[in-house]
Chains A and B, each alone.
Chain A
Amino acid sequence: MSQADLFTTDGAKARVDHMLIAEMVEAGSRVLDVGCGDGELLRLLSEKRGVDGRGVELQRDKVNACVARGLSVIQGDADRDLDNYPDQAFDYAILSLTIQATRKPQTVLENLLRIGKRAIVSFPNFGHWRVRSSLAFGGRMPVNDNLPDLWYLTPNAHLCTIRDFADLCERIDAKVERAVAFSDYGRPLPIKWSLSMQNLFGEKAVFLLRSSSS
């Protein structure tokens, strides 16, 4: 992607995982962004890829801001509300930096793979070396840019490593079409690196998944 693609129309720089997701999504497709926050990804997808996007967000003020900006977003809970969507209603169901905050990650992931022809999931990697060293040497839960909240304030309920997530995908029979981990500086790690290396040096990861039954 060119440098110009990294900026949305108002000049703000897009998040790197958002950029990668935008690259994975086919132009003009139908997208459901679960946990869409302030709608930045939806807006990026709409502007850069011409997608027909919808969002679900738990926090009321963020939903209000999205709708006031003209995005189709509903106030709702990924753990509770995904059951209502029909099978294959979207080309992509996206969960960007949200799965760790859900109560039932497996159910949510299964729902994503049912609702979307493909699912895209990004998450903070708890196997990153700084997390490991914080626990190993500091004896404390990590607090950094990627995991900014203290343990008693964090919305995260189910943190996992890249390996853990890959295991879950295998367990629920999800086919991993693509997996990319990012370094601390937001650069994708070399594809030839092993999963253990990605798990050690990846700060975040993005998985493109497909249900093996579809």
Chain B
Amino acid sequence: MSNNLLNQKLNVVNVGLELFSKTLIKQAVPTTHVSWRPPAGGNKEVARLLDKYEERINAANEKVIQIYNDAQPVLMGVKPAHTVLKGLTRETILHAGPPIEWEAMCGPMQGAILGAIRFEGLAENDEKAIQLIKSGAIKLSPNHHHGSVGPMTGMITYHMPVFEVKNEAFGNTAYCSINEGLGKVMRFGANDPEVLERLFWFRDSLGPAIHDAVQLCGGINLKVIMAQALAMGDEMHQRNTAASSLFARKICPLIAKLPMDHEAKAKVIKFICDNDQFFLNLAMAAAKSTTDPAKGVKDSSIVTVMCRNGTDFGVKVAATGEKWFTAPANLPEGLYFPGFGPQDANRDMGDSAILEVIGLGGVAMAASPAVVRFVGAGSQDDAVRYTKEMGVISTGKSTQFLLATMNFEGSPLGIDIRKVIENDIVPVINTGMAHRLPGIGQIGAGVVKAPYVCFEKALSAFAKTLTD
């Protein structure tokens, strides 16, 4: 083959010393400077494996993108957790994030667990609840081990009602708790009688009402709502105002048809309509049902789970299936409610980062000018920058989550752990901030970075799965 370089205009990528970029730029040569760092975090063996199998990995990743894009999450109803979640005994408390021992849990997580034990009537006070935990009578287990997700502390117990979302493209289902609204809520570790009262009402009225309403229409396609809401300024993690409103428009007329007492009906409708974050939990179940079919796709380096338990951050990758890669969770950065500051903040918490996994939340920051300002003195330019940065570490684009502010480009989809390490860009997650003591609740909101170490560990393990 003959080389035509001598007859071409030079266009150079400079990998390494910046000095050489400068000499080329002086000569008006188009030059892209790469602020280089050792590939695969400096692990040459891993780098070589990734390069060797690059085509195969890329093909597998395309497959996962297809799986994510093809997903059709549909809300099928609301059911008591024990009737649908595998292995959920009355003594089992499901929590957010990767597995964790009681002793290592943060304040809000412990507070929520004590409340959940009392909710199930397993103990009448916190002291007895702690005794039960220490005696080993209570099983603590991550939501992700049971096909479910939950925001912040992520409590799901035997009698709690959960949304059932079916991915009609693949036939799998995923579950999430119902959002409790703002103020003192269990997801932020609060566990006083008011909190439990609300959860009893969820169990006895709200859950069954939504379930019955959904049965009247045979299911509600959540992806359609999500796509619309994105165009209305939600990014679906920090802000769900549009999606919650759209959902309310669907569900309220159905609830109106239910043979319920007027006052009870009004209370249900008011609860749904008053909560800007009502849709968050639906979006989470939708996201979980979207990513589950990608689990175990051989050779794929795409992230299928990101979640946090208030102590650790956990990641799962398609090719490594159910294996957890964990590292200490970071502290979110953002804005605090009056009277609170960084010293009060708990580490990052909740299963809600599943939204970033499907190209929403921090990844879709450009969709939500209102949200980007949580970053600090952010501007819309910053929002676009965040999304573009997430594009650098993503494999493809969403075919349905379109970003109006970026000329209707699809939101970046499919975080590739290779790209995270290679580009030294970690996923950003939009999140609420919990007080580090139980029961105080939300003290602000902001963004948090996924810890680099998780992806580093994941990449090493992923490389080991690559064989001829």
Q: Do A and B interact?
A: no
Interface on A for B, CB 8 Å cutoff? none
Measured CB to CB, the residues of B under 8 A from A are none
